[in-house]
Every structure is written in structure tokens, then in C-alpha cells.
Amino acid sequence: MSKDNKNSNRGKKVFKEAVQGRTFFSFDFFKRNIVYIAAITIMMLMYISNKYVCQNSMKEVMDLKAQLENAKTDCVNTSARYNSLIRESRMKQYVDSMHIDISAPDQPPYHLSNAD
């Protein structure tokens, strides 16, 4: 038998089984294509696991970025408070070293308005 004759007989056999209502995916089909089926299944599982790992990594990166922004904000606030305390104490030291009789008021300043 020639190669074309075998392929046409095989095609006729598959068509005949489909028309008669036999299942297309028979044990013989799986036995012949087990390597391809296993390879496709493994590739699908690898794709799903890779997608899961990527999504978890992206979520972790987003969480770490948010924590970094909060840490930067805390650092700036702490630095500003520290600098304001240093300026006030240095000014007090400077006034004391110049022997100027100036002190910080205990009460806030009064707002004077024009009495008409």
C-alpha cells in the first residue's frame, strides 16, 4: 500500500467512526499522542504557575512601594521637626553668647486693633 492510500483509509476510518457516533478521543488516540498531550498539559501548568508567581510578585512590589513612600514621608517629617528644634536652640545659644537680654515669650503675641 502506498502512503497516500494509507492516509485516505485512515481519514475514511475517522470519518466513519464520527458518523457512527463512536468517540473521536479513543484510547488508541491517547496512546498514539501521549507525548504531545503530556507536553501540552505541562506547558499549561507552567503558564498558570508563572502567572500566579508574577501576580504575587507584582502585589509584593506594590506593597513595598507604599511602605517606601510612607517611610520617606516619616523621614521628611522627622527631619523637619529636628531642624526646627536645632534652629531654636542655636538661636538661644547665639543670644546667650552675645550677652543680649532677650528671652522667648511665654505667651503668644497679642493682636492690637484700632479702636475707632
Q: Of 4-13, 22-31, 69-78, where does the model show the most confidence?
A: 69-78
Q: Which stretch of 6-20, 38-52, 65-79, 93-107 has the lowest confidence by average pLDDT?
A: 6-20
Q: How far is C-alpha 28 from the geometric centre of its chain's CA atoms?
A: 46
pLDDT in tens, 68-106: 999 999 999 998 888 877 777 777 787 788 887 777 777
Residue 6 vs residue 92, higher pLDDT: 92
Give the Cα-Cα-Cα angle 112, 115, 116 (nearest 5 degrees): 150
Which of 20-29, 62-71, 81-90 is modeled with the greatest confidence?
A: 62-71
Domain spans of the chain? 24-97
Reply yes or no on whether the pLDDT at 49 is more than 90.
yes
The answer to whether the CB of 102 falls within 8 A of the CB of 95 is: yes
Residues 54-79: what's their mean pLDDT? 96
CB–CB of 37/30 below 8 Å?
Answer: yes
CA-based radius of gyration for the chain = 42
Give the C-alpha separation, 58 to 3, whole Å.
54
Query: Which amino acid would we find at residue 18?
Result: A
- Over 90-103, what HEC string results? HHHHHHHHCCCCCC
Res 2: pLDDT: 56
Which pLDDT belongs to residue 22?
Answer: 60
- Which of 40, 21, 43 lies closest to 30, judged by CA? 40
